Structure 1
Amino acid sequence: MLITSEDRAHAQDLLNFIDASPSPWHAVDTITQRLQAQGFVPLQEKLSWKLESGKGYYVVRGASLITFMIGQQPLTDTGFRMIGAHTDSPGLRLKTNAAHASDGVVRLGVEIYGGPILATFTDRDLSLAGRVNVRTAQGFESYLINFRQPLLRLPNLAIHMNKDVNEQGLKLNKQTELPLLFGIADDTLSAREQFLNLLADELKVKAADILTYELNVCDTQAGAFWGVEQEFIANSQLDNLASCHAALTALLATSAPAATCIAAFFDHEEVGSESTAGAGGSFAGDVIERISLCMGLDDEQQHCAAAHSFFISADMAHAYQPNFPNAYEPNHHVMVNAGPVIKTNSNQRYSTDADTAARFITLCESAGVPYQNYTHRTDLGCGSTIGPVVAASLGIASLDVGSPMWAMHSLRESAGVQDVAYMIKVMKATFGS
C-alpha cells in the first residue's frame, strides 16, 4: 500500500486536532484558532454583519460553529456549497452534583451521553475536559478546562467475581456501576469540596466562585498510527472530529471560490440535534439568511439561491470488520483506506438520493478519489445523522457521506490514513464546484 508523506501529514494533523479537542467546547476553540490564523473574521449574532466578497468569517453558538467564505459569483447563480459535521461524541458527562463519598472512596457520578460502548471506558486512564463558569463582578466568565493527566478510573470487576464475563460480555448497571473512582475520602473536606478545589486549583480561581460546569470524561491516551505499514490511526472521537477536520482543512485550502462556501460544526448530534446549537435548531438557517440579507437578496432570490445549493452531511461510516461478517449487508462491505462512503437508507435515516449521490460521484472522479456505497443490514436499526434534519429545514439538495472506521462509539476508534486525505480532497472539490 502506497501511503504518501502528504497522506501521513494529514493523518497526523487530524490526530493533533483531536488531541487538542477533548470536548465539544475545545473542538470549537481548536477550529477557532485555525480560522483566526488564516484571517477569518469573527462575527457576533447580537451585532449587525457586514460581509465582503472573498473574505472568510465565522460565528459561534455554544459548542457549535459555522464558518463561511463569500464567493465571487452571485448567490442567485451559484447558491451555497455547505458541509456539515458535529463536534460532540458519545461518552460520559459528569452529573451536576457529581462528587460523593462512600466506603472511604470519592466517586464521580456520570450520565451517559448518546450511545457509547460502555465497556471501552473500563481500565483506561480517564480525565476531565469541558467548561467551567466562574463568578465575576460583572456576572460570570466561562473557562475551558482540560486535565491532561489521568484523574479517574473505572476498574473492572475481577474475573474471579464475574466468571461469565467472557461468555456473556461486560454488563454495567448505568446507575450503580458507572461512577468513576476519583480519590480517597478526606475526613476534613466533603467530596464536593475536594472536587471543586481541584477545578479551582487548575483555573487559579476560588472554589466558592465556581457556579456551574459541563465536563466530559475523556481518554488521556494520544492518537497513534498502527498496522504493519502504519496504515491505520486510532484515537477517541474520530466520530466525528475526523469529519470536522476534513471540512475545515478543505475550506482553509480553498481560495476565491465561485460559490459561497459554508462549513458547519454542530453540537448535540449524538443526542438528537434538538437544541439551540444543534442542527435541529435555527443556527444554520439564521446564518444563511443573514448572509443572504448582507448580499442584498430578497425572499424570491433566497429561494433561487437555495435551489442552486448543495449540502454534504459528513459523518463516519461503518467499515467491514472481518471477525463479524454477519453484522454487515453482504453486498455493501465498506473497506478502510478505500475512499469516502456514500450512505443510503430508503427510510431517510440518511439524506442521500440518486441525484445527490451521482453528484458526489462526479466530485470524487474530478478529485481522483475512489468512493464506496453503504447500506445497513435490513434486520438492524440504522443510525441517523444531521443530514435529514438540515435538508428538511433548509430545503437544500443533500447527501450523507463518511470515512470508513472501526469500533464506532468506542472510547478508542480506528480508521485509515489514506481515507483522511481522500475526504479532504473531495471536500475541497465540493467547495470549488
Structure 2
Amino acid sequence: MPDTSTYIDDFAEFIRSSPSSYHAAAETGRRLDAAGFRARRETDAWSAEPGLFYAIRDGAIIAWVVPEGAGPLTPFRILGAHTDSPGFKLKPRPTIGSNGWLQAGVEVYGGPLLNSWLDRELELAGRIVTRDGEERLVRTGPFLRIPQLAIHLDREANNGLTLDRQRHTAPVFGVGEVSQADLVGLLAGFAGLGSGTDAAAEIAGYDILTADTQSPARFGLDDALFAAGRMDNLSSVHAGLTALLVAAESPTPGHISVVAAFDHEELGSESRSGASGPFLADVLTRLGAAFGGGVDERARSLAASWCLSSDAGHSVHPNYPERHDPANQPVAGRGPLLKINANQRYATDAPGAALWSRACAQAGVPYQEFVSNNGVPCGSTIGPLTATRLGIRTIDVGAPLLSMHSARELAHVDDLVALSAAIGAFFAPED
C-alpha cells in the first residue's frame, strides 16, 4: 500500500496539472518520461524490444511495459480509464456579452451538474492549433464565473432551480463592449503568441474547456475526506499511472502491462481518441505485428488478456439512501468498487469478479460491490466498449464518490489509495 499522505499529495498535484484531457495526457507523458519511458510516434515504425513506452493521441495516452521474453502470444493486462470530465466547451465566435458584461459562449460538455458550476472561479484550458499546424497547450488560471441570480430576484430559487443551458450558463469574464474584446486574442496571449489582432489570427483552431480552479483539499475527521474537481476520472488515471510506474521497476514476465487513458468518455467515447475508436486496437495490433505475429497469434493473445475498466462509481448518499440498492450500499472508506450490472452496462462477470477478489486480497485492501437500484438508470463505462471491440475479458471497478459530475467531487482518501494498490496487484499477480 502506498503511503496515504504521499499518494494524496501527488494526486492533488496531478489534478492541478490536468485542467483538460489534453493537459492530463501531457502530464501523464511527462511523468512517464521522468520514469524512463520512451515516446512512440504513431507515424514511426515500432520495434519489439523490451522496455517502457507510451503514445499520445490528442487527449488520450496509452503506456505499456514489455518484459523480457515477450512475443506475439504474450497476453495483455490493461487498465482502462478516461481523461475527460463534464463541464463546458468554448464555442466558435466565443466573445459574447449582455448589458455591459463580457461573456464567453460555451456549449455544455457531457452531463455536468449545472448548479455546481455556479459562482466558482473557472479557467479556460485545452489546446490551440496555429495556422502552421503547431499545437500548444493553454490555460488561463482563474478567469471566468457563472454568476447565480440573487435570491432577492428569484424568491423561489430554493424551491427548485432550473437553468436554461443556453441562457443561464454563459460565464462572465469582464465588462465592456463586445466589439472591443476578443477572447481568442486573449487565449493567444496565454499561449505565448503575443497579443492583438495579429496574434488572434494565428489561432486556426482550438479545443478549449472550462475547469474549476479551487485547489484539491483534505478535510473532515482525521483529514479522511478529499474534495477536488475532475476525480471522475482522474482518480483512475492517476491510480493506473502510479501502479504502472511501480510495475515498470520490475516488470512481471508473462504479460504486457498497459494503461489506456481515453478521451471523450463523457460524450459516449465515439472518437479517434475515445474507447470506441481504434487507438487501443491500433497499439495492440502494432505490438503483435512487431513481434512477428499474425491474425491467429493476435486472437490467441487477446483471448488470454484482461482489461480492468476503472471509472469512478457511487458511494451511498447519506441524504438519499433510497436512490441506491437496499442490499448493496457501498460506503466511502471501505474500499474500491466492483461494478456489476445485469444488462451489461458494466462488463463484470463471475470470472472477472474472482480475479478482482484475488487482486484486492493480494494488495491487502477490501472492496465493495456496486449495483444500481432497479428504479434508477445505470450509467456505463469504457468497459463494455472495450470488451465488445476487442473480445478481451473485462472487469468494471472504480473509487466511490459523492457528487459525481459536480464541479467538485468527494472521495475518501483510503479508497483512492486502495484502488491504486489493487491495480498494482492486477499488474503483478502472485498466482
Which sections of structure 2, spanning at least 5 residues, go unmatched? Answer: 194-198
| Counterpart Cα distance in 1 of 2:376 and 2:135 | 42
Match of 2:271 in 1: 275
Match of 2:185 in 1: 197
Structure 1 position 104, deviation (Å):
1.5
Q: Establish whether residue 226 from structure 1 lines up as the match of residue 213 from structure 2.
A: no
Structure 1 position 102, deviation (Å):
2.7
| Counterpart Cα distance in 2 of 1:210 and 1:303 | 44
- Describe the superposition over 1:3-54 as per-residue Cα deviations: whole angstroms up to 9, x where unpaired: x98111111111110111000000001000000001111111111111312x
Range with greater deviation from structure 2 (311-320 or 74-83): 74-83
**1:75, 1:260 within 8 Å by CA — same for their partners in 2?**
no
Match of 1:179 in 2: 170
Structure 1 position 75, deviation (Å):
4.9
Q: 3-state DSSP class of the match of 1:120? A: helix
Range with greater deviation from structure 2 (209-218 or 35-44): 209-218
Match of 1:141 in 2: 134
- Describe the superposition over 1:57-109 as per-residue Cα deviations: whole angstroms up to 9, x where unpaired: 00111111111011335456651100100000011111111111332221111
Q: Establish whether residue 308 from structure 1 lines up as the match of residue 308 from structure 2.
A: no
Which sections of structure 1, spanning at least 5 residues, go unmatched? Answer: none
Q: Establish whether residue 208 from structure 1 lines up as the match of residue 189 from structure 2.
A: no
| Counterpart Cα distance in 1 of 2:318 and 2:45 | 54
Identity of aligned residues (%): 39
| Counterpart Cα distance in 1 of 2:229 and 2:17 | 11
Structure 1 position 298, deviation (Å):
2.2
Q: 3-state DSSP class of the match of 1:214? A: strand
| CA RMSD between the two structures | 1.4
| Counterpart Cα distance in 2 of 1:147 and 1:337 | 35
Q: 3-state DSSP class of the match of 1:332? A: coil
- 1:278-293 alignment to 2 at 5 Å? 278-293=274-289
- 1:398-417 alignment to 2 at 5 Å? 398-417=394-413
Structure 1 position 125, deviation (Å):
1.0
Q: Mark the CA change 1:154 to 1:240 in structure 2 (over 3 Å): closer, same or farther.
A: same
| Counterpart Cα distance in 2 of 1:165 and 1:427 | 44
Match of 1:155 in 2: 147
Match of 1:265 in 2: 261
**2:38, 2:53 within 8 Å by CA — same for their partners in 1?**
yes
| Counterpart Cα distance in 2 of 1:203 and 1:395 | 42
Range with greater deviation from structure 2 (309-318 or 320-329): 320-329
| Counterpart Cα distance in 2 of 1:27 and 1:51 | 27
| Counterpart Cα distance in 1 of 2:317 and 2:69 | 45
- 1:118-129 alignment to 2 at 5 Å? 118-129=114-125
TM-score w.r.t. length of structure 2: 0.95
Q: 3-state DSSP class of the match of 2:134? A: strand
| Counterpart Cα distance in 1 of 2:104 and 2:228 | 24
Find the partner of 1:237 among 230, 233, 236: 230
| Counterpart Cα distance in 1 of 2:295 and 2:134 | 39
Q: Mark the CA change 1:360 to 1:5 in structure 2 (over 3 Å): closer, same or farther.
A: closer
**1:72, 1:257 within 8 Å by CA — same for their partners in 2?**
no
Structure 1 position 257, deviation (Å):
1.6
Find the partner of 1:429 among 409, 425, 428: 425
Match of 1:256 in 2: 251
Match of 2:99 in 1: 103
Amino acid at match of 2:186: L
Q: 3-state DSSP class of the match of 1:140? A: coil
Q: Establish whether residue 22 from structure 1 lines up as the match of residue 19 from structure 2.
A: yes
Amino acid at match of 1:213: Y
| Counterpart Cα distance in 2 of 1:216 and 1:102 | 21
| Counterpart Cα distance in 2 of 1:94 and 1:202 | 15
Amino acid at match of 2:108: I
Q: Mark the CA change 1:423 to 1:5 in structure 2 (over 3 Å): closer, same or farther.
A: closer
**2:65, 2:256 within 8 Å by CA — same for their partners in 1?**
yes
Q: Mark the CA change 1:79 to 1:173 in structure 2 (over 3 Å): closer, same or farther.
A: same
Find the partner of 1:34 among 7, 31, 36: 31
In the alignment of these two chains, the number of paired residues is 421
**1:72, 1:260 within 8 Å by CA — same for their partners in 2?**
no
Match of 1:87 in 2: 83
Q: 3-state DSSP class of the match of 1:217? A: strand
Find the partner of 1:322 among 313, 318, 329: 318
| Counterpart Cα distance in 2 of 1:239 and 1:396 | 24
Find the partner of 1:167 among 159, 165, 183: 159
Please identify runs of 4+ aligned residues in structure 1 that moved more than 6 A. Answer: none
Amino acid at match of 1:44: R
Range with greater deviation from structure 2 (4-13 or 382-391): 4-13
| Counterpart Cα distance in 1 of 2:96 and 2:106 | 11
| Counterpart Cα distance in 2 of 1:409 and 1:197 | 31
- Describe the superposition over 1:272-304 as per-residue Cα deviations: whole angstroms up to 9, x where unpaired: 001111000111111000111112222212111
Q: Mark the CA change 1:332 to 1:73 in structure 2 (over 3 Å): closer, same or farther.
A: farther
